[in-house]
Chain A
Amino acid sequence: MADNHNDRLIDYFNGDLDEVSSQAFEKHLAECSECREELEELKALTQDLPFASDPAEPPEGMKERIFANVFAETQIGEKDEQPREKRQEPEFKPKPVKSAEPTPLPTRKRNKSKRGMNWWTSFIAAALFLSLLGNAYSLFNENQSGGKGGVDIAAAIKSVELKGTEAMKKGQGTATLVKTDTGGVSVVVNAKNLKQLQGNKVYQVWLIDDAEKKHPYRAGTFVPDQSGGGAVSYTMDLPEYHTWDTIAITLEPTPYSQKPKGNIILSSEL
């Protein structure tokens, strides 16, 4: 028994165990002082190894890019537990979730990436979100153009159909701007017939104001499932209501593009 667990120390340290094995090992750790000591020893022996790295010069503009992303990174799904109304406050800071132990991080969920989330779960999540919003009654009823896609869009400000461009002729989808119950605006995109992505590539949603074409607003990323469907809902962190002229979805090399680098694959006027 103990031997079996002893064999897992290396993989535990490197976060190579799945969740079940990792929990089992932690349980074992609580009981086995030998393994605890070995783990502590491993930590102590490796603690200074990062300093063996040769100094490398960070690329130009890294700080600006990172800070823009750190503060902009607020996608629905990541913070379902967080009340959304706080988003409107300029100094809003999500409450720390102090559950995970600092080292090692045994369950490595990257909640930012939507990889693996299938079209239907995303769709249901978006639909649920919309129907919740529907409950908080909308001031924008007069603007709305009727339901689409069988989703209750009572709080929708606008819903448009996205058309595939030359780069992805078969692509299609819908984009809906919805008023949140706290006065903010979310954009919900559902798309299908998209090409599969590899590596770190993502589809990125942009909102474009013609007056500020060079600075499109990033409004969520997603990765399609195996059937080529994908969805994202993104709550905008803007001080006041903004009108947009165009919504476009591009294929980006990483989820961190601050400006569109890839081709537009879906778009519509707003």
Chain B
Amino acid sequence: MSQHNDAELYEKVQSGDKRSLELLYDKYEKILYSFAYRMTSHKESSEEVVQEVFIKIWKGQGHFDVSKGKFSSWLLTIARNTVIDLMRKRKEPAYELEERDSFASDEASTEDLVEWKEQGAKLRSAISTLGEEQQLIIESFYFKGITQRKIAEQFDLPLGTVKGRVRLALKHLRNALSEKKGGFEDNGR
């Protein structure tokens, strides 16, 4: 349950313990899948991403270092990189909306991780308070992982200003969050 456990499980996986891999899988399956789905809007690709992430963990590609932060953050970063990688490999245009609408109907799904439960709704509502352009910038930069040049084209910005816009949008988001609840507590490790 605790982060402390995650690091231990991870170490056991590194020495070949399949059971520990399964425990990590059970704990993070849903957030990983949901995050991948958030980025790809595509069910098969999302499953592929979750699989890739666990292949990477099993093979010890990329190493989790407890001193550098939470296991969940590390894991989700790997997932994000995997999605970006996958989307770049696919030359076909992204799947986009096709599934997202139909997906909304089978809802009733809930967050299962504590930190997800705590932060999910707040984050979504904080994002919704941002201006449209800032929301889109976060979408393009973070959830689509597109290049600086493409962001510049998409928003008709000089290349040199993209980074500033991204930081500004993210900082606004952070402010919106702290207004909501007076600070973002860190869930420890």
Q: Which residues of A contact B (CB under 8 A)?
A: 6-7, 9-11, 14-16, 38, 41-42, 45-59, 62-63, 65-67, 69-71, 73, 91-105, 108, 110, 112-113, 115, 198-200, 254, 256
CB of A66 within 8 A of CB of B25, answer: yes
Residues of A within 8 A of B167 (CB): 38, 41-42, 45
B 40-56 to A, binary, CB cutoff 8 A, 1 in contact else 0: 00011011101100110
A65 touches B47 (CB 8 A): yes
Q: Complex: how many Å from CA A122 to CA B51?
A: 26
Q: Does B64 lie within 8 Å of A102, measured CB to CB? A: yes
CA distance A14 to B31 in the complex (A): 20
Q: Which 7 A-B pairs have the closest CB atoms?
A: A96-B60, A93-B16, A53-B38, A45-B170, A52-B123, A98-B63, A103-B77
Can you list 10 residue pairs at the A/B interface with Cβ under 8 Å?
Answer: A38-B167, A48-B115, A52-B120, A65-B47, A66-B50, A100-B62, A102-B74, A103-B74, A105-B62, A199-B90
How far is A188 from B134 in the complex, measured between Cα atoms in Å?
53
Tell me which of B46, B88, B89, B115 contacts A51 (CB under 8 A). B115
CB pair B37 A96 closer than 8 Å: no
Tell yes or no: B159 within 8 A of A by CB.
yes
Contacts of B29 in A (CB 8 A): 58, 62-63
Contact B174 A92 (CB under 8 A): no
For the complex, is B181 an interface residue (Cβ under 8 Å from A)?
Answer: no
Provide the residues of chain B in CB contact with A102, threshold 8 Å.
Answer: 62-65, 68, 74, 77-78
Chain B residue contacts of A199, Cβ below 8 A: 90-92
Interface size range on B against A = 35 or more
Cβ contact of A105, chosen from B16, B33, B78, B142, cutoff 8 A: B78
Give which listed residue, B44, B55, B74, B141, contacts A73 with CB less than 8 A. B55
Residues of B contacting A47 with CB < 8 Å? 69, 73
**B176: chain A residues within 8 A (beta carbon):** none
The residue of chain B having its C-beta at the shortest distance from the C-beta of A69 within the complex is: B51
Q: Given A48-B119, A50-B76, A53-B37, are A254 and B63 neighbors across the interface (CB < 8 Å)?
A: no
Inter-chain contact A66/B51, CB cutoff 8 Å? yes
**Closest A residue by C-beta to B85:** A108
Query: A96 to chain B: which residues have CB within 8 Å?
Result: 14, 59-61, 63
Known: A11-B148, A53-B38. 19 other contacts (CB 8 A): A6-B163, A9-B163, A10-B141, A10-B147, A10-B151, A14-B145, A15-B145, A38-B167, A50-B35, A51-B111, A55-B111, A63-B25, A69-B51, A96-B14, A102-B65, A103-B78, A108-B81, A115-B89, A256-B48
Contacts of A200 in B (CB 8 A): 48, 90
Distance, CA A105 to CA B115, complexed state (A): 25
**Contacting residue for B48 out of A70, A108, A254, CB 8 A:** A254
The smallest beta-carbon distance between A84 and chain B, in angstroms, is 16
Quote the shortest CB–CB distance from A180 to chain B (angstroms).
21
Question: What separation, in Å, do the CA atoms of A42 and B171 have in the docked complex?
Answer: 10
Give, as a whole number of angstroms, the nearest-CB distance from A257 to chain B: 11
Closest to B162 in A: A10
A15-B81 contact, Cβ under 8 Å, with A98-B60, A102-B65: yes
Shortest Cβ distance from residue A129 to the other chain B in the assembled complex, whole angstroms: 21
Pick from A10, A38, A48, A94: contact of B59, CB below 8 A.
A94
Given contacts A51-B119, A97-B60, A100-B62, contact A46 B21 (CB under 8 A): no
Contact partners of A67 in chain B: CB under 8 A: 22, 25, 54
